[in-house]
């Protein structure tokens, strides 16, 4: 397969991916929570099938457009995990007409009123709560606001109050497994305080937590009903640096042709840049920014990360690898190297399709 | 047109774009250099037509894949401005068979040997030179290396030594027009020293300079034969911050639906994130990172940049706008705001197509 690669190519190790899916399905089962996986990372109908194979029927997406793609591919229970964009109500009505069960997130009562007035059927609604990440969601500190939204839902049969949703994305900025666990414990506590406060309004609210770091490392999920992680299907260097996954769990790599060697600066130019990786980065032990790590591609996968070999700079199509003398000497122009991505969701979104080691192509929306 | 927008949408102001094209075509004519525009920014056959209208026949692209797209759309003189990736030689032979004039960049003599052995026809070759940017190209300080490559070209009729190419991308990191001009003057001097040194080998080498900042602000182009800027077709906030363009020259904006308002922090959540803008950023006067600036959309264009309104954070689909109290109060959920991109090339690459204010859609490769 490798000898057919001539351009930047997104490689998918299916065995690693299946094992990542198994891990999360099994963990959810063991801890008694329902897994509603987020499909924003892979955005692929074929990869979706691997989840169906493990009994998954309800999924999460991050945009109505992505929901359209998965509805077109047969999915019938979809959460759009984004503060609902009322301009897309027509599409939601379309879904309802097709019998799709739709779950939406709201963060204000006006949107609930709007939905009650414009929907042609009933949707399930989450109130998105913010336990400290400060991206979207109503702060758990403003219970009055939450109650106003809940009261608005109660006015219409079209807006069924289903649950409380939280993406505690601040776990991505923690520096230890313990810190992630403690942040989750705090989030779950706040979510449950809100649920308790709403008990007189409705007794059956689901609590769903959304981030991969927490879903991977938290073992005590009491107080949680559903989890919606996405990134775990592939993981990436961010997850590895957080110790949320092992390096060997990372299921995607970009194959990049070597186009130039610069002996003086021990740097190599690859075809692989911002249009392939996006521009997320991490910092190494010397506080130097980098955009990916290097692996050697093999017939059925790739090697462990090569020490002292990093993608240190990218522009639109160019990538610059800084390498140890030893590794530099082993590479030549015309070779293809593997680069593990910092952020697999953005990389997959840019690359557009997946190539497996058995020579298959999998679609990306 | 605006009332049809329901999702993140890339808006193109055709009048601004045409005026940007006119500026560069006229400037090249006035200064007696040949404009070989870089099409990596727009990657659009329809936008390419606006260049044909101004007499452009030879173009530049940044990948062989992009060359395929423009060859398929009728272009017959193409420079692939990237250290040539020998794994794609088959495609080059395909181009030659179709009668396409192909210009490639090389940075080592082995690649020249490889081309001589594998090409089915003749290509024009540039040696890419590095005058200090340190991305790709042979350093102008290593004349022996340059001469080795030149000597290798002389051995085969298939590898015609056409010129010396330089993308002095370090202009992007300068902080004044004068600094860009002086950096260019230095680059041109070094390029001409190399040309002089090669005079006994060939007398007709072209010097091509590639970056938009220099092509926009340099008025003395003696010693330069060709220019290959790309970004100027749209410009963006980086170019505006460099004073390379006026704010009103920026020809693209992303229309983003407002999905939530956070009164407490005066922040607004928009649908517009890293899958729309990529992750390039600038720093404001308080050293705060930002990912775009905000404009009000109008029926035939957009307003000037709103003061104290910035896209301060983005994740996959979410964008967070930090706004002045006054502007915050004027916006409501369900509105659509415009965001000027930091880097228009990456934004256009992600958005996939353009919408004009007359309601037309233009393709992106």
Please spell the DSSP secondary structure of A254-279, one letter per residue: EEEEEEEEETTTTEEEEE--HHHH-S
Give the lowest-confidence range in A60-74, B173-187, B302-316: B173-187
**Distance separating alpha carbons of residues B269 and B257, to the nearest angstrom:** 9
Q: Do residues B352 and B338 touch, judged by C-beta distance below 8 A?
A: no
- B52 and B78 in a single domain? The answer is yes
Our measurement of the distance from residue B82's CA atom to the centroid of its chain's CA atoms, rounded to an integer in Å, reads 13
CATH of the domain at B204: 3.20.20.10
Q: How confident is the model at residue B182 (pLDDT cuts 50, 70, 90)?
A: very high
Last residue of a domain, one of A179, A195, A229: A229
- A165 and A275 in a single domain? The answer is no
Q: Number of structural domains, chain B?
A: 2
Crossing angle for the helix pair A344-351 and B344-351, to the nearest 10 degrees: 70
Q: Do residues B94 and B72 touch, judged by C-beta distance below 8 A?
A: no
Query: Is B345 at the interface with chain A, CB within 8 A?
Result: yes
Q: 3-state class of B290 per DSSP?
A: strand
Taking an 8 Å cut-off on Cβ atoms, the answer to whether A6 and B85 are in contact is yes
- A187 and A301 in a single domain? The answer is no
Residues A199-250 have pLDDT tens digits of: 988 889 999 998 999 999 999 999 999 999 999 999 999 999 999 999 999 9
Residues B61-71 have pLDDT tens digits of: 999 999 999 99
Residues A160-202 have pLDDT tens digits of: 999 999 998 888 888 889 999 999 999 999 999 999 999 988 8
- A306 and A184 in a single domain? The answer is no
- Virtual torsion, Cα A130, A132, A133, A135, nearest 10 deg: 50
Taking an 8 Å cut-off on Cβ atoms, the answer to whether A135 and B320 are in contact is yes
The predicted structure's pLDDT at residue A175: 82
- B125 and B206 in a single domain? The answer is yes
- A199 and A274 in a single domain? The answer is no
- Residue B169 above 90 pLDDT? no
The predicted structure's pLDDT at residue A235: 98
Q: 3-state class of A239 per DSSP?
A: helix
The predicted structure's pLDDT at residue B53: 97
The predicted structure's pLDDT at residue B203: 86
The predicted structure's pLDDT at residue A174: 83
- A254 and A151 in a single domain? The answer is no
- A121 and A166 in a single domain? The answer is yes
Q: Is B275 contained in some domain?
A: yes
The predicted structure's pLDDT at residue B2: 85
Nearest to B259 among A85, A134, A274 (CB): A85
The predicted structure's pLDDT at residue A73: 97
**Distance separating alpha carbons of residues B292 and B84, to the nearest angstrom:** 34
Mean pLDDT of A49-58: 98
Query: Is B2 at the interface with chain A, CB within 8 A?
Result: no
Residue numbers of the domain that contains A285: 2-9+246-363
Q: Is A23 contained in some domain?
A: no
Chain A residues with CB under 8 Å of B108 CB are 260-261, 333
CATH of the domain at B286: 2.40.37.20
Q: For chain B, state the CA radius of gyration.
A: 22
- B70 and B42 in a single domain? The answer is yes
Which chain A residue's Cα is nearest to B141? A264
- B44 and B117 in a single domain? The answer is yes
Q: Model ipTM?
A: 0.95
**pTM for this prediction:** 0.96
- A104 and A209 in a single domain? The answer is yes
Which chain B residue's Cα is nearest to A64? B7
Last residue of a domain, one of B234, B267, B282: B234
- Residue B354 above 90 pLDDT? yes
- A250 and A225 in a single domain? The answer is no
């Amino acid at each position: 397969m490798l000898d057919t690669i001539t351009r930047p190519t997104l490689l998918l190790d299916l065995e690693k991916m299946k094992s990542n899916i198994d891990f999360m399905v099994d963990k959810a089962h063991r801890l008694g929570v329902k897994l509603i996986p987020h499909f924003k990372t892979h955005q692929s109908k074929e990869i979706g099938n691997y989840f169906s194979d493990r009994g998954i029927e309800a999924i999460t997406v991050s945009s109505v457009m992505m929901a359209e793609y998965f509805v077109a591919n047969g999915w019938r229970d979809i959460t759009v995990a984004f503060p609902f964009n009322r301009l897309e109500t027509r599409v939601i009505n379309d879904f309802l007409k097709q019998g799709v069960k739709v779950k939406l997130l709201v963060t204000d009562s006006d949107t609930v009123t709007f939905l009650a007035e414009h929907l042609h059927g009933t949707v399930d609604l989450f109130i998105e709560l913010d336990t400290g990440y400060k991206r979207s969601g109503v702060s758990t500190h403003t219970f009055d606001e939450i109650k106003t939204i809940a009261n608005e839902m109660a006015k219409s049969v079209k807006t069924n109050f289903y649950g409380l949703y939280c993406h505690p994305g601040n776990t991505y900025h923690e520096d230890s497994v313990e810190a992630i666990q403690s942040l989750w414990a705090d989030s779950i506590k706040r979510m449950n305080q809100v649920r308790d406060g709403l008990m007189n309004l409705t007794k059956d609210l689901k609590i769903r937590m959304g981030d991969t770091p927490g879903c991977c490392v938290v073992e005590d999920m009491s107080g949680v009903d559903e989890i919606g992680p996405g990134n775990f299907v592939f993981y990436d260097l961010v997850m590895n640096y957080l110790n949320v996954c092992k390096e060997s769990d990372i299921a995607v790599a970009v194959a990049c042709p070597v186009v130039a060697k610069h002996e003086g600066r021990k740097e190599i130019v690859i075809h692989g840049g911002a249009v392939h990786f996006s521009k997320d980065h991490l910092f190494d032990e010397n506080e130097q920014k980098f955009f990916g790590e290097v692996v050697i591609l093999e017939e059925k996968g790739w090697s462990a990360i090569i020490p002292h070999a990093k993608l240190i700079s990218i522009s639109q199509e160019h990538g610059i690898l800084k390498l140890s003398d030893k590794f530099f000497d082993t590479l030549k122009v015309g070779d293809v190297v593997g680069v593990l991505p910092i952020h697999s969701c953005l990389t997959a979104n840019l690359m557009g399709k997946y190539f497996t080691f058995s020579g298959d192509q999998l679609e990306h929306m």
